[in-house]
Structure 1
């Protein structure tokens, strides 16, 4: 059987089951493992020597939390991350993740609806980690992200997207043509339906799915190599069915 691609509903269901009494994971645990996988993906494709300055773009939800964790790990690995988070999440977990980044002396651009600071940050960066919208995203794209996505897309910088490229429909992909077109995608838990149309380098991360869950949902996950937190998926050829 082939690797299973998830609908938004099924992805949400698996997340809830992981954090239920049966799954016994906390949100902190899942976010830490997901963010570590994101950092490892970026470091695998874009070396610290050639791409040291990483602009980590975070949304206000769990996707942004993954980005904050990734920023911390990238900082620990010798990269120079900067965080752009115009609408910081107000939950305690985001405050703690932000404090951890502050303690690593990772700069954060002051929150603003004005994207001029984003434009300046892009000019000083080598690669973008897109952790803005996750699988729960529903259009339309609202301010300030509606003007931010075109800025990021036109920057000419390589982009690594977390779980689903920002602006994409989780099941239909970039059907509206408004989302980012990243060079690299790191899917978490299992790829989402919309990622079937993604043509770049595609990795899978989130080494927290239990054997019981994998079998229950027939995920058919590939084997992770050694102690790596990520595994690269085969490139999808034009016209190939998944």
Structure 2
């Protein structure tokens, strides 16, 4: 399949989400749950708890951050010790409920991202998703700089934060240009920015029907066993 038909642009990704929540019959909560579970499974596949138990989840204020909160819940149940940095928490019911779920599981929240990065074994980047538009504002300017410089492995949710969903990483010298996560978890289908990614690449889109995939022009890989994710080949053209 040609690459022009494999990757979902920002506009197409938003339209597909809208279709999944209309004719597809999914709620936002369901899609977020499936996305977060996929991300947690990718963390487990990449760095199981016996090797890297401490996970810092950096959550943004939108749906990408919500995916991170769901992932934090699953990671706790998978045997990890997650810590969440959530500096821009919106006062919306869906995020308040996710916050409550984590609080009930005694998941820790932190206000000190600098200290949290030094103490963690790995980082889940759930800051910005496919709807991200620059400029990056505080406190995430500092966070992106930390992600650029950290030696801890980073797993990004759908899009490496600071990257443009269609054109990839920022230009040399711009904030985020030096950020290359170790793992990328594309959700539903890969986005064009994935062409610039160098690392382990997982896809979490097992819930997509064959009919919807055909309509939007992308293929469905074979997901192993009961996994919600599948690792993609380094050359995405072979999907």
- 2:210 touches 2:220 (CA, 8 Å); kept in 1? no
- 2:167 touches 2:193 (CA, 8 Å); kept in 1? yes
| 5+ residue gaps, structure 1 | 111-116
The answer to whether structure 1 residue 169 and structure 2 residue 169 are counterparts is: no
- 1:122 touches 1:152 (CA, 8 Å); kept in 2? no
Deviations 1:109-139 (A, max 9, x none): 14xxxxxx11101111000000000000011
Equivalent residue number for residue 21 of structure 2: 19
| 5+ residue gaps, structure 2 | none
Equivalent residue number for residue 114 of structure 1: none
Equivalent residue number for residue 215 of structure 1: 214
CA distance in 1, matches of 2:206, 2:108: 29
CA distance in 2, matches of 1:221, 1:206: 8
Equivalent residue number for residue 94 of structure 1: 95
- 2:129 touches 2:157 (CA, 8 Å); kept in 1? yes
Divergent runs of 4+, >3 A = none
The alpha-carbon deviation at position 241 of structure 1 amounts to 9.9
Deviations 1:44-72 (A, max 9, x none): 01021110000000000000000000000
The TM-score with structure 1 as length reference comes to: 0.92
The answer to whether structure 1 residue 127 and structure 2 residue 129 are counterparts is: no
Equivalent residue number for residue 69 of structure 2: 68
The alpha-carbon deviation at position 235 of structure 1 amounts to 0.6
CA distance in 2, matches of 1:98, 1:181: 29
CA distance in 2, matches of 1:36, 1:198: 22
SS in 2 for 1:195: helix
SS in 2 for 1:108: strand
Counting matched residue pairs gives 233
The alpha-carbon deviation at position 2 of structure 1 amounts to 4.5
Equivalent residue number for residue 233 of structure 1: 232
The alpha-carbon deviation at position 155 of structure 1 amounts to 2.1
